[in-house]
């Protein structure tokens, strides 16, 4: 079973689960921490839930590095794996990550949850703020009267200011809103 087969099935599953929710964004390849890692699929609604795919052809060499970044910025993570990876993955990822097994079936790929995800309680505000573009970060600061002296600063300073001034909940709400707005502005008119 190839990664593309799992990805297509996962996209279809997410469309089935969230397709009729107007406030939900389903996005492939969401870059985190300035692109140091990309989660294969993200579902953005009242949280950001990342899905990482590991097919039979994938090794788990990069998983610890990916996990370190995902753990900093995502509310929930589910790893979707080929059965060959089951034993190693359950020991390699944090206990709050969900695990889905991708099983080859007659009608394509089906998913079996072997562990449900829990909410990440250790999000790093700076990593979360990095999901904002510079202008979005500046606008978030301006909306809260925190932009004084910040307009000419590099984006890293804006992210630091947001992370220091806002709670994770406040910052998460801003990030989710901006990701959804950004996505809707990129869609072609119907």
pLDDT tens figures, 140-180: 999 999 999 999 999 999 999 999 999 999 999 999 999 99
Q: What are phi and psi of 109, to 5 degrees?
A: -115, 135
CB 33 within 8 A of CB 91: no
Q: How far is CA 109 from the centre of its chain?
A: 22
CB 14 within 8 A of CB 3: no
* pLDDT score of 184: 59
What letter does residue 189 receive in the DSSP assignment? P
Residue 143 neighbours by CB distance under 10 Å: 10
% of residues, the chain, pLDDT over 90: 84
Among residues 38, 48, 46, 45, which one has the least CA distance to residue 7? 38
> For residues 165 and 147, what is the distance between their CA atoms, to the nearest angstrom?
11
What domains appear along the chain, each with residue ranges and CATH number?
Answer: 3-115 (3.40.1350), 125-186 (no CATH)
Average per-residue pLDDT in the chain?
92
User: Tens digits of per-residue pLDDT, 101-155?
Assistant: 999 988 889 999 999 999 999 999 999 999 999 999 999 999 999 999 999 999 9
CB 102 within 8 A of CB 109: yes
Angstrom CA distances, 149 to 144, 153, 177, stand at: 14, 8, 25
Residue 25 neighbours by CB distance under 10 Å: 19
> For residues 190 and 188, what is the distance between their CA atoms, to the nearest angstrom?
6
Helix ranges, the chain (H): 3-18, 63-73, 86-92, 125-129, 134-143, 155-165, 168-186
* pLDDT score of 76: 98
β-pairing, 48-54 with 37-44?
Answer: antiparallel
> For residues 76 and 51, what is the distance between their CA atoms, to the nearest angstrom?
9
Check pLDDT > 50 for residue 57: yes
Confidence band for 189, pLDDT divided at 50, 70 and 90: very low
């Amino acid at each position: 079973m190839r990664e593309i087969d799992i990805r297509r099935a996962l996209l279809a599953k997410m469309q089935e689960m969230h397709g009729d929710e107007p406030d939900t964004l389903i996005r492939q390849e969401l870059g985190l921490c300035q692109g140091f890692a990309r989660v294969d699929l993200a579902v953005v609604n009242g949280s950001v839930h990342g899905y990482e795919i590991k097919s039979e052809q994938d090794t788990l060499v990069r998983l610890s590095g990916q996990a370190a970044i995902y753990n900093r910025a995502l509310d929930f993570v589910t790893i979707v794996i080929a059965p060959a990876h089951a034993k190693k993955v359950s020991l390699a990822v944090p206990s709050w990550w969900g695990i889905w097994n991708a099983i080859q079936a007659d009608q394509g790929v089906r998913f079996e949850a072997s562990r449900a995800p829990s909410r990440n309680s250790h999000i790093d505000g700076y990593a979360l703020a990095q999901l904002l573009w510079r202008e979005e970060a500046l606008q978030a600061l301006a909306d809260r009267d925190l932009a004084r002296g910040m307009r000419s600063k590099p984006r890293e300073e804006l992210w630091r200011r947001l992370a220091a001034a806002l709670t994770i909940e406040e910052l998460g709400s801003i990030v989710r809103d901006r990701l959804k707005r950004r996505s809707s502005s990129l869609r072609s008119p119907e």
